Amino acid sequence: MTSLETLYLDYQARQTEFQNTVARLFPGKDEWHWQRACARIDGHNCRRNDDTSQDQAMADSAEIRTAWDAYITALHAFYLLRYGPSGVLGGRGL
């Protein structure tokens, strides 16, 4: 297995872990509920017809934030190795 494959599997596992953490702590909620809750708490106008009563608790969850940070760190490591420091467009001279 190459390093790229290893990083891919790692980021996929961490993404699943993040999604499972959100679902376990807030049944019926997913990544997009958490993203919207964080944006709303940060003052962005992202009103929807969702129940927003758990937004503060979701946004403040250290366990979800830790899982998110691990997922994004692994995702960025994968793309850095895959495309290099200039990214997908930078590698093409765009």
Mean pLDDT to the nearest integer, 45-54 = 78
Site of tokens 């758990």: 54
pTM score of the predicted model: 0.85
Question: Which one of 4-8, 39-43, 83-87 scores highest in mean pLDDT?
Answer: 4-8
Q: What is the distance between the alpha carbons of residues 33 and 54, in angstroms, rounded to a whole number?
A: 10
Domain ranges in the chain are 3-90
Residue 14, Cα to own-chain centre: how many angstroms? 9
Mean pLDDT to the nearest integer, 44-52 = 75
E strands present in the chain: none
- Does residue 45 have a pLDDT over 80? no
Left if phi > 0, otherwise alpha if psi is -120 to 50, otherwise beta: which for 28? left
